[in-house]
Structure 1
Amino acid sequence: MSGQGCNLTTRMLVHREVYDQMVTAAAAATLRVGDPFDQTTALGPVVGKAAHERILGMIERAAKDSRVVAGGRATDPSTLPPDNRDGYFIDPTVLADVDPYSEVGQHEVFGPVLSLIPFETEDEAVELANSTPYGLGTAIHPHDVSRVQRIVPHLQSGTVLVNGALGQPPGAPFGGYKQSGYGREGGKEGLYEFLQTKNVFIRA
Structure 2
Amino acid sequence: MNIAKIAFTGSAFAGRAVMAAAAKSNLKHVSLELGGKSPALVFDDADLDNVVEHTSDSFLRNSGQICFASSRVLVQEGIASKYIEAIKTAFENADKKMGDPSLEDTAFGPLADKKQFERVMGFLNDGKAEGVQFLAGGARKGDKGTFVQPTVILNPDLKSKVYTDEIFGPVISIKTFKTEEEALHMANDTTYGLGSTVYTNDIARALRVAGKIEAGTVGINSAFNTSVQTPFGGFKQSGIGRESGKEALNEYVQPKTIHINMNLVSKKA
1:18–1:66 distance in 2 versus 1, CA, 3 Å: farther
2:63 maps to what in 1?
2
Deviation at 1:19, TM superposition (A): 1.6
Aligned partner (choices 10, 19, 28) of residue 89 of structure 2: 28
CA–CA distance in structure 1, aligned partners of residues 106 and 158 of structure 2: 31
Taking the aligned partners of 2:80 and 2:123, their CA distance within structure 1 comes to 23
Q: Which amino acid is 2:127 matched to? A: A
The residue correspondences of 1:34-183 to structure 2 (distance < 5 A) are 34-63=99-128, 64-77=130-143, 86-164=144-222, 167-183=225-241
Aligned equivalents of 2:160 and 2:184: distance in 1?
18
Q: What is the CA–CA distance in structure 1 between the aligned matches of 2:176 and 2:186, rounded to whole Å?
A: 10
Whole-Å Cα distance in 1 between the matches of residues 158 and 258 of structure 2? 50
Structure 1: 5+ residue runs without aligned partners?
Answer: 78-85
TM-score scaled by structure 2? 0.68
TM-score, normalisation: structure 1: 0.89
What CA distance in whole angstroms lies between the structure 2 residues aligned with 1:201 and 1:65? Answer: 67
- The residue type equivalent to 1:136 in the other structure is L
State how far apart, in whole Å, the 1-side matches of 2:85 and 2:163 are: 20
Q: Which has the larger radius of gyration?
A: 2
Structure having greater relative contact order (Cα 8 Å, sep ≥ 6): 2
Which residue pairs with 1:80 in the alignment?
Answer: none
Alignment RMSD: 1.7
Instruction: Figure out how many residues of one structure are paired with residues of the other and give that number.
Output: 196
What is the CA–CA distance in structure 2 between the aligned matches of 1:65 and 1:119, rounded to whole Å?
22
Runs in 1 of length 4+ with deviation above 4 angstroms?
200-204
SS in structure 1 opposite 2:239? coil
Gaps of 5+ in 2: 1-61, 264-269
